[in-house]
Amino acid sequence: MTYKKYISKIKKNKIIIHLSQIAIFILFITIWQILANKNYINTFITSSPKNILITILNLYRQNNLLFHIWITIKEVLISFIITSFLSIFIATILYNYKILYKILDPYITLFNSLPKVALGPIIIIWIGANIKSIITISVLISIIVSIQTIYNGFENTDPLKIKLLKTFNANKKDILFNCVIPSNKSVILSTLKINISMCLIGVITGEFLTSKAGIGYLILYGSQVFNLNLVMSGIILLMIISYVMYNIILYISKR
């Protein structure tokens, strides 16, 4: 096989994959719409692509859709920033004071296995039914895994490199900034990628518990008044938001 053939084969493969992906999407939407048009499915509980589109347009015209999207994105970004900074900070402290990690280990495990949403009611009573509670819930949901992943990365730093720095009389700070953090760059970046998704999960959970605006609020409100068009629209909007935010982080981390 010549090089040219090889390249053209790879290109062909890529085109096939992309076309298939688009085809699946179109097929899904079309079948859904046809089934709805022919009354094979009850659009009252399944909604339909057309209805979703109309709902979203109406939300945009009458109900401040951009405001709801903005609220959700703002909550995600704030909790993402808090989670990321706090987890890097805490993992650094635990790494430098191993005894602290050993003491706290069972409590971290305990807290990790607790479904954080169970704490929701307490948090709302303590902090109030507002955006701060939503952010707190989101941070609690994402932070433990983030700390553990970064801490494990730190622990697996090549001991030889640390020993080398010590031969030049490095102190803890030197070792941290010249070796531990740079050699864990990819661990930290992939944790950030996971954090953005975890924070979105956390924010929607929080919005379900207490909110006056946001996509989670729209979905919850839609289900309460049995408006499935609204619920489905909310879910579609969430998919788009999460896809876009994930790709932004991906783009930033690649540079």
Partner 1 sequence: MNLIKILNLSKSYYSINEETKAINNITFDIDNNFTGIIGPSGCGKSSILNIISNQDKDYEGKIIKKENLKIGYMLQEDALFPWLNIYENSILGLKISKSLNDDNIKYVVHLLKKYGLYEFKDKYPNELSGGMKQRVALIRTLAIKPDILLLDEPFSALDYQTRLKVCDDVYKIIKEENKAVVIVTHDVSEAISFCDKVIVLTKRPASIKNIYNINYINKNTPTQNRKTIEFQKYFDLIWSDIEK
Segment interacting with partner 1 (CB under 8 A) among 97-105, 148-156, 173-181, 193-201 = 173-181
Measured from the CB atom, the residue of 98 and 166 that comes closer to partner 1 is 166
> Which residue has tokens 């805490």?
90
Out of 174, 224, 247, 250, the only residue in the binding site for partner 1 (CB under 8 A) is 174
Out of 37, 109, 156, 182, the only residue in the binding site for partner 1 (CB under 8 A) is 182
Contacts (CB under 8 A) with partner 1, residues 184-213: 185
Measured from the CB atom, the residue of 105 and 158 that comes closer to partner 1 is 158
Based on C-alpha coordinates, what's the Rg of the chain? 24
Q: How far, in Å, CA of 147 to CA of 62, rounded?
A: 42
Measured from the CB atom, the residue of 35 and 179 that comes closer to partner 1 is 179
Out of 43, 148, 178, 253, the only residue in the binding site for partner 1 (CB under 8 A) is 178
Measured from the CB atom, the residue of 174 and 239 that comes closer to partner 1 is 174
Binding of partner 1 by 170 (CB under 8 A): yes
Q: How far, in Å, CA of 75 to CA of 142, rounded?
A: 13
Binding of partner 1 by 183 (CB under 8 A): yes
Please state the closest distance from residue 229 (CB atom) to partner 1, in A.
52
Measured from the CB atom, the residue of 80 and 154 that comes closer to partner 1 is 154
Measured from the CB atom, the residue of 2 and 167 that comes closer to partner 1 is 167
Q: How far, in Å, CA of 115 to CA of 7, rounded?
A: 49
HSE of 4, CA atoms in CB hemisphere, 13 A: 0
Out of 160, 225, 251, 254, the only residue in the binding site for partner 1 (CB under 8 A) is 160
Binding of partner 1 by 105 (CB under 8 A): no
Q: How many residues belong to the site for partner 1 (CB under 8 A)? A: 17
Out of 35, 165, 176, 213, the only residue in the binding site for partner 1 (CB under 8 A) is 165
Please state the closest distance from residue 48 (CB atom) to partner 1, in A.
53
Out of 179, 189, 201, 241, the only residue in the binding site for partner 1 (CB under 8 A) is 179
DSSP the chain: --HHHHHHHHHHHHHHHHHHHHHHHHHHHHHHHHHHHTTSS-HHHH--HHHHHHHHHHHHHHS-HHHHHHHHHHHHHHHHHHHHHHHHHHHHHHHH-HHHHHHHHHHHHHHHHS-GGGGHHHHHHHH-SSHHHHHHHHHHHHHHHHHHHHHHHHHTS-HHHHHHHHHTT--HHHHIIIIIHHHTHHHHHHHHHHHHHHHHHHHHHHHHHS-SSSHHHHHHHHHHTT-HHHHHHHHHHHHHHHHHHHHHHHHHHH-
Binding site for partner 1 (CB under 8 A): 158, 160-161, 163-170, 174, 178-179, 182-183, 185
